[in-house]
Amino acid sequence: MTLQQLRYIVAVVTCGSISEAAKQLFITQPSLSNSIKELEKEMGISIFNRSPKGIALSSDGREFLSYARQVLEQAQLLEQHYTGRPPAKRICSISTQHYAFAVNAFANVVSRQNIDEYEFTLRETRTYEIIDDVKNCRSELGILYMNHFNRKVLKKLFTENGLVFHTLFHADPHIFISCFHPLSHKKSVSIEDLEPYPFLAFEQGENNSFYFSEEILSTVPRKKVIYVSDRATLFNLLIGLNGYTICSGILNRNLNGDTITAVPLNTEESMEIGWLSNPKLHLSQFALKYLDELKRLIQ
């Protein structure tokens, strides 16, 4: 086993495929595949499960990846101490539902990085993909919510995939609407108040189950519904169509401006927002700092 082979494993996981990793590593795909197979044979495990749809980390592979990353980090520290080389490019990936506070925390931590090179990824993505990213170590952690409606289904998925959910905070549901919306002056609104207006929600792709919805009360019948894939489009439609969405109520003026406001929603529902981890994955210093910044912003 060599350090280079460990770097190959990390690169394949980060890129999501052998072909893309080979391009980034500037080696041929057969060479990369052979190197991985030799390592698997030496370790006596299958690091990746292979199928016509591609590759994914096996259960043994997830554990191996955690050790590989720790070994590579220690090797880098050793090289820096004795050779005086600059720190290696820092890499970290985080997956999240569409929360402004998650983006704000990410921006704050990145801006404090006193290094010349880094490669960070922030995925605002679908609920099922967040779970899959953390399961397969494409992301170190995932930000999502649970409530009484989806809790049983999500917890079952977490358990089946060996993941752990950590609570960050509980939130009373609000609606996001334009500051010029007819309901913006109200101290609170009901579902009935919202009936004339378009409901905006994040689409969930192939796993379009109510249990994976980012918005609570997803099963409530509505006459007007628009599904979007990103926050910018959603906010534009909130303004352009007098639409609304249901959320945690946390806004960041620096990122969202003053054109969107949050109004409490009259409901007995609540949201438990937290972060998802894979116990087999050793969290990087950046991921730990990100969690600290999330907690600071929420307070």
CATH of the domain at 236: 3.40.190.10
Q: Which of 88, 108, 133 is the last residue of a domain?
A: 88
Would 269 be classed as within a structural domain? yes
Phi and psi, residue 96, nearest 5°? -150, 150
Cα–Cα distances (Å) from 155 to 34, 123, 148, 152, 263, in that order, read 38, 22, 11, 5, 30
CATH of the domain at 7: 1.10.10.10
User: Three-state DSSP class for 136?
Assistant: coil
Would 292 be classed as within a structural domain? no
Would 15 be classed as within a structural domain? yes
Q: What's the rounded Cα separation, in Å, for the pair 3 and 144? A: 35
Q: What's the rounded Cα separation, in Å, for the pair 265 and 20? A: 46
Q: For residue 271, give the nearest of 252, 250, 251, 247 by alpha carbon.
A: 247
Would 48 be classed as within a structural domain? yes
**Does residue 82 sit in the same domain as residue 173?**
no
Confidence label for 113 from pLDDT (cuts 50, 70 and 90) = confident
User: 262 lies in which domain range?
Assistant: 169-273
- Tens-place pLDDT, residues 180-217: 999 999 999 999 999 999 999 999 888 778 899 999 99
Would 110 be classed as within a structural domain? no
Would 145 be classed as within a structural domain? no
Contacts of 293 (CB under 8 A, 6+ apart): 105, 108, 109
What pLDDT does residue 294 have?
Answer: 93
- Tens-place pLDDT, residues 227-256: 999 888 999 999 999 999 999 888 776 656
Q: Which of 54, 88, 122 is the last residue of a domain?
A: 88
Would 128 be classed as within a structural domain? no
The answer to whether the CB of 128 falls within 8 A of the CB of 111 is: no
Q: Which of 88, 103, 138 is the last residue of a domain?
A: 88
Number of domains the chain contains: 2
Would 204 be classed as within a structural domain? yes
Q: Is the pTM of this model over 0.85?
A: no
- Tens-place pLDDT, residues 165-177: 999 999 999 999 9
What pLDDT does residue 87 have?
Answer: 58
Confidence label for 90 from pLDDT (cuts 50, 70 and 90) = low
User: Three-state DSSP class for 50?
Assistant: strand
**Does residue 173 sit in the same domain as residue 83?**
no
